[in-house]
Chains A and B, each alone.
Chain A
Amino acid sequence: METLIQQLINGLVIGSVYALIALGYTMVYGILGLINFAHGDVLMVGALTALQTMLFLMGVAPGLSPIYMLTIALMVAIPVCMTLGFLMERLAYRRLRNAPRLAPLITAIGMSFLLQTVAMIIWGRNYHTFPQLISTTPLEPIAGVFITPVQVVIIIASAAIMIGLSLLVTRSKIGRAMRATAENHRVASLMGVDTNAVIAFTFVVGAALAAIAGVMFASNYGIAHYGMGFMPGLKAFTAAVLGGIGNLGGAMLGGIVLGLVESFGAGYIEHLSFGFLNSSYQDIFAFIILGLVLIFKPTGLLGERVSDRA
Chain B
Amino acid sequence: MQTKPGSPLLKLQNLQISYGGIQAVKGIDLELWAGELVCLIGANGAGKTTTLNAIAGVQPIAGGDILYAGDTINVLPAHKRLRRGVALVPEGRGIFTRLTVEENLRMGAYSRNDKAGIEADLERVYTMLPRIKERLPQVAGTLSGGEQQMVAIGRALLSRPKLLLLDEPSMGLAPLVVEKIFEVVQSVAKEGVTILLVEQNANLALEFAQRGYVMESGRITLTGSGDELLANPKVREAYLGEMV
Contact = CB atoms under 8 A, between A and B. Distances in A.
A176 B110 CA distance: 9
A180 B79 contact: no
A309 B78 CA distance: 24
A189 B83 CA distance: 11
B4 interface: no
B96 A193 contact: no
Contacts of A183: 96-99
Contacts of B94: 184, 186-187, 190
Interface string B158-184: 010000000000000000000000000
A195 B103 contact: no
Interface string B72-85: 00000111001100
How big is the B interface, by class?
A: 20 to 34
Identify the interface centre among B58, B88, B107, B108: most chain A CB within 10 Å of its CB: B107
B107 A191 contact: yes
How big is the A interface, by class?
A: 10 to 19
A67 to B, nearest CB: 38
A179 B139 CA distance: 13
Given A177-B110, A195-B79, A307-B139, A187 B56 contact: no
A190 B5 CA distance: 28
Contact of B79 (A173, A184, A189, A307): A189
A179 B96 contact: yes
Interface in A260-310: 307, 309
Nearest to A307: B98
28 contacts: A176-B106, A176-B107, A177-B110, A179-B103, A180-B96, A183-B96, A184-B94, A184-B96, A186-B78, A186-B90, A189-B77, A190-B78, A191-B79, A191-B82, A191-B107, A191-B108, A191-B110, A191-B111, A191-B159, A192-B82, A192-B83, A192-B159, A193-B79, A194-B79, A195-B79, A307-B99, A307-B139, A309-B98
Interface of A: 173, 176-177, 179-180, 183-184, 186-195, 307, 309
